[in-house]
Amino acid sequence: MSEQEKLIKELEDIYKQDQMYRTTLNYEENSNQVKDILNKTNLLDKQNLERVEHIIEKYGINSIPNRNESNFKANLAVFLVLQHADLPIRLKYIDLIKEAVNKGRLDSSYLATMKDRNLVDIGEKQIYGTQLEFNNETKKYEVLPIKDIENLDKLRHSVGLEPMEKMLSDYDLTLNDIYKK
């Protein structure tokens, strides 16, 4: 097995671990089971971050499999692990994400998603409308504040994101739900 094949296999394993508990999590429940899953997820996130940082240090930007290759999960793993990290880690690696996007190794929508998350975490409005949060009172997801709602779909299109209305339908929301704010 070549070094690149080993790297892809490791990144695919990281992807699997990153998504393992997230796909079973029901935020609508407020139970000990949810808290247990969140604790397990946080532990895996820390372990995966160590692995991804080691890969980046050892191989650099070229460690990210090209987004046009058939190894989609390996490509996505690097982004997801960094996206799920705390703000200081995301800020540390955002230039790497930009470089990877510019070299065609990562999708531009990944950078847009990370930018939005960073903005939300520092208390500013997001640009692309990628960030939602679950409201425990209404038991529904809500889109966090957006800077320029009027040009939102143009901005989303420019980075390869689907129209906002399509994204919202996945959460049983409509455009009216974000215009209310």
More confident residue, 28 or 160: 160
pLDDT at 105 over 90: no
Question: Would you kindly state where each structural domain of the chain is located, as residue ranges?
Answer: 3-106, 107-181
Distances, alpha carbon 116 to alpha carbons 26, 123, 138, 144, 159, in Å = 23, 11, 23, 10, 12
Contacts of 42 (CB under 8 A, 6+ apart): none
Question: For 78-88, how does the pLDDT look when each residue is reduced to its tens digit (9 = 90+)?
Answer: 999 999 999 99
Distances, alpha carbon 65 to alpha carbons 29, 68, 78, in Å = 37, 8, 9
Question: For 140-167, how does the pLDDT look when each residue is reduced to its tens digit (9 = 90+)?
Answer: 889 999 999 999 999 999 999 999 999 9
- Per-residue pLDDT band for 27 (boundaries 50, 70, 90) equals low
Average pLDDT over residues 18-25: 81
Contact 128, 161 (CB under 8 A): yes
- CA atoms in the 13 A half-sphere facing the CB of 98: 7
Residue 84: both structure tokens together: 């799920």
Radius of gyration of the chain (CA): 17
Contact 102, 123 (CB under 8 A): no
Q: Per-residue DSSP letters for 15-32?
A: HHHHHHTTTT--TT--SH
For residue 167, the cross-strand partners are: none
